[in-house]
Every structure is written in structure tokens, then in C-alpha cells.
Amino acid sequence: YPTFAVSLYADEAAKWKEALGDDDYELTLDTGKVVKSKPDDITNDPSVAAKADAIVLAVPSFAHGQYFEAFAPYMRPGTLVACMPARSGGDILFAAKLGAKAKDMVFMGFETLPWACRFTEWGRKATILGTKGSILAAVTPPAKFPQAFALMQGMLGVFPAVTESPNNLGISLRNPGAQIHPGVMYGRWCPEKWDGNPVDEKPLFYQGVEEFSESVLMGLTKEVQAIARKMEELVPGLDLKDACTLHQWYLDCYAGQMPDDKTLKGCMNTNPGYRGLTHPCIEADGKYMPDLKYRYLMEDVPTGMCFNKGLGEILGVPMPMTDKVLAWAQECIGMSIMVDGKMCGPDIGKTRAPQAMGITTVDGFVKAAGLA
């Protein structure tokens, strides 16, 4: 495929183009194999969308709306827009940003990224730390899944194997980032566990999950399960089997790779793709303070956790653990989203909560999510 890399963030495209120069981009796979290639162009011009059969958005989810709006005037009918990951409510945001034009497009929401990866030399080299065995994706409209699947699986290769999920709501509620990232951050840095002083070393993120953090994550995942069961009760025939627990998510995505997969904590502690990954920190006089404005909170709270809390509020599902983590997290990121336990703060419009798009009733949500 002719391939174009697009970045609308500041002057990133120009810097990336300069960093790469005439060289190929170098990717080291988790097998040790090195793949070299390069895009036909690196640009900040959204009009290249007019040339695209497929647009793959692998940008932070808080930027999805910006890209949807920028590409919309140039997209041809039938264009596939694949979000990796879609995070929560991606399909609803896509429809809201494209308006009437959305019905002529194909939206494919992936549950997560296909790989755990990090760049090793900005703009030039990256390394894949671990590849998921399978990855779920849902397509709107569902009838277009075979077309979308063929294109995306062809680009990904054999692994991860793309598996069809019945609807994008299942992908939204399955979103692991909405629970894992804020939950682990809370588990390590909440007032109950941290005295506010710098630490000697960056704590391990996934491998450092202990009993308290696991209890937070178990509380969060239990509340999301309650939302899924309530939606299935209210919408006859709705299949949310893919909106599974966090423990089951690890078993689905990393089967056979974790020496201890009996518990959620065991899965996170022994996943080889997580080896050595630490909490985001800022160095301070040879010690470390947590970066509480890192994407684990700045992105995953507004575009993940807020969707869950907002939908739970509409459904009348109690969410005490989500309330506790969200109240702490919104202070960390300097936003007012939840006020007195309700999703009505002045920054609600910056989130993926249904309330941000004017959705406050069950019927309104069912219609917006295309479940009616």
C-alpha cells in the first residue's frame, strides 16, 4: 500500500520527517527480526485522507475527535477508519463528529493496541516488546466486518488474530485502559499508600501490582460487569460477552505467555511483555515523583473511565470504587468532571462520557450506540 503518516500535533510531522531523512524506519520485533520500511510521506496535511482506503488512528484517544473533524471533508464514501485502540465510546464520537457523513463510512474499533512497544530512537527506531495472540474489533455497520477484517488482518500479518466482536459497546466496556491504568496509578499513589515524598526508584507498573492495587482493579472490573449485565437486561438480544473481567482479558490476550495466570495479580506480575515497565515518574534531585499528568490518567480517565461512570449513572448502577478513583484522578489532572458523585462538572465536555454528547437517558444511549 502507498502509506502516509499524518500528525496534526504541533510541528511533529516536520520533526519526524527531518529525523528520518532518507533512511528507513527500523522496527525490531519480539522475535528479534528487524523490519525496515518507510511511509511515502510524513505530513500534517489532512487532505491526504482523500487518497485513503483505510485510515488507522494510532494516536492518543483524546485526539480522535480532532482527527475525525480534520479528515471528514476529504474522506471518500466507504473509507475504513480503524482506531487502535478505540477506547470507550469511539463509535459514538465518530458519528457525532462526522454527522450525516458517518453513515457512508466504516468505523472499526479495536479493543487495544496489537503490541506492547516503545520507541528506542525517536522518529527512527522502535521495539515490539510483546505481541498479543488475538485482538477483538467491532465494526459499525456490522455488515462491513468482512471487508474491514480482510484489510486490517492483511496489514497486521498472522498475529495478532483479529476476532469479531458483536458491537462497539462491548469494545467500549472491555477497554482495559479505563480500569488498569487509573487503577494501578491510584493503587500506588493515592493518599492511603503514598506520603507525598519522592521515592528512591521508579516502581514497577504492572509487575509491581500488589494486593491493594489488585483489590482496586477487582472493584473497578466488578462495576463494569454490572453495567454490562444491566444493558443486556434492558436491550433484548444484546450480546456483551466480550465486555469481560480484567482477569479474563489477560487470559484472552496473553494465553500461554504468563507463568502465573491464576489471578489478576499473577497475570500482571508475570506477563513478559511488561518486563521492566515502570510507573511514569519525574526525576527530582536523584529521586522520583510520580507523573500524575501522564496519559495513564490524562487520557484514560476522560476517554475511558468517564464513559463507564457516565453510562453507569444513566443506568443507575452503583460504582463506589470508580467514584473513589475518579475523584482522586480528576484532581491529579486538574479537571472537574464529577461533582457530588454526578457527571455534571464543567469539564464533562472534554470526556467520552455519554453526558458530554447530551445523552442522559437509556433510550438516548441505545439510539446513539446503534443498539435499537
Active site residues per annotation = 181
Return the number of other C-beta atoms located less than 10 Å from residue 153's C-beta. 14
Q: How far is CA 330 from CA 59, 114, 190, 310, in A?
A: 22, 29, 12, 14
Beta bridge partners of 288: 199, 283
Nearest-angstrom CA–CA distance, 138 and 123: 30
- Grid cell digits, residue 100: 450525516
Neighbours of 69 (CB within 10 A): 13
Q: How far apart are CA 61 and CA 58, in angstroms?
A: 8
Give me the residue label for grid cell 510541528.
11
Q: Distance between terminal CA atoms of the chain? A: 37
Partners of 188 in the β-ladder? none
Q: What is the DSSP letter of 303?
A: I
Residue 70 φ then ψ, to 5°: -70, -40
337-346: list long-range contacts, CB under 8 Å, 24+ apart. Answer: 337/301, 337/302, 337/306, 338/309, 342/313, 343/306, 343/309, 343/310, 343/313
Contact at 8 Å (CB) between 309 and 316? no
Give me the residue label for grid cell 476517554: 303
